[in-house]
Structure 1
Amino acid sequence: MTAPLISQTEPELRTEATTDIVGYRLRRAQLSVFQRFNAAFEMLNLRPAEYSVLVLIADNPGRKQTEIAEILGIKRANFVALVTGLETRGLIERQAAPGDRRANALYLTADGVKFLDEARAIQDRFEADCIARLGGVERRDALLRLLDTLC
C-alpha cells in the first residue's frame, strides 16, 4: 500500500510556533552538529561525550572522575559507564586518587594519547567546517558569547 499523497490545495504546514522558540532551534542545531560529528568520527567509533572526556583527561591528568563528570554535566551512573567503555578500549586508566583512595583519578594510556592525537586532527577539520558554515571566526565567537548568556 502506498502512502497517501498530500493534496496540492492544502495550506503549507505552519511551524513558527516551534521554530521561533530558542530551545527548539538550539536542539535542532545540536542534532545537526552531532550528526555531522558522528559521521566525522565514525571510523574511530567515538561519540561527542567520549571525545570531551578524553580531551579533559589529557589536559588534566590525574583529576578525579567526579570532577570531570561534573564539568561535563554527566550524571555519575552514566559517567561510570562511559569511563568503563573508554577503559575497556584501552584508552584511559583509573588509579586511586592521591589522598583519597576511594576516588578514581583518570589518565590516558599510551594508546589513548595516540588515539586522541588522531581524534584531535579530525576535530580540527570538523571545527573548521563549523566555522565556515557560520561565516567565519567572528561569527563563531559571537555565537559562543550568545550561548554563554543562556548558561
Structure 2
Amino acid sequence: MARKTSSVRRARPNAAPDLGALNDRLGYFVRRLQVWIFQDFIRRLARLDLSPAQFSVIVVIGANPGLSQAELAETLGIERARLVRLLHRLERRGLTQRRASRSDGRRHALELTREGRTVLAAAERLAGQHEDVLREKLGARRYRTLLNVLRAV
C-alpha cells in the first residue's frame, strides 16, 4: 500500500516549507544574513589568507597605532587569550609587531608592519567589494538603515 503524503505539500511540490513562527523572529533572519555575510567575506579574504577576526585586528591596529592589547581586546570584544593567539599568527606572518610602550613599560604598543599595511590595503579593497555586494543585495536604503540600527545596539 502506498504511503499518503500531505495534500498541502503535493499541491505545492516546489514551494519552500513554511517557516512558521520563524517568520516573526528577528534573530532568525539576522542569523541567516550573518551566515551569508561571513561566507562571502571569508571567501574574499581567503585570497590573502586572512580570517575575518584577523582582518578586524589589523583594521583597528591600523587605525590606532600604539593601541595596547587590552584596549584592542575590549574594542573588539575578543577575550584576551584568543587575541594573543591572533596576534601571534599575525606577528609570525610579519603583519604586526608589539613594542614596549613609551608611557608604560608593562604594556605593549601594537603596530602594523610595512607588510601589514600592504595586506590591510588589499583586504580593505576586498571588504569594500563585499560591502558593495551586500548593499546591492539589501538595497542602499535598507543597508544604511540596518547599519545605523546595529551601530546603536
Query: Quick check: TM above 0.5?
Result: yes
Partner of 2:147: 144
Q: CA deviation at 1:145?
A: 2.2
User: Quick one: which amino acid aligns to residue 134 of structure 2?
Assistant: C
Q: Does 1:9 align with 2:6?
A: yes
Larger-gyration structure (1/2)? 2
Q: Which runs of 4+ in 1 moved over 4 A?
A: 10-14
Q: CA deviation at 1:52?
A: 1.1
CA distance in 1, matches of 2:95, 2:73: 17
- The alignment partner of 1:46 has SS state of coil
CA distance in 2, matches of 1:63, 1:43: 27
User: Quick one: which amino acid aligns to residue 140 of structure 1?
Assistant: Y
CA distance in 2, matches of 1:116, 1:98: 25
Q: Any unmatched runs of 5+ in structure 2?
A: 10-16
| Greater RCO, 1 or 2 (C-alpha within 8 Å, sep 6+) | 2
Q: Does 1:111 align with 2:86?
A: no
Alignment CA distance shift 1:102-1:11 (3 Å):
farther
Q: How many equivalent residue pairs?
A: 143
Matched ranges for 1:26-37 at <5 A: 26-37=30-41
Normalised by the length of structure 1, the TM-score is 0.85
Moved more, 14-23 or 86-95: 14-23
Identity %: 38
Partner of 1:102: 106
Q: Any unmatched runs of 5+ in structure 1?
A: 1-6
Normalised by the length of structure 2, the TM-score is 0.84
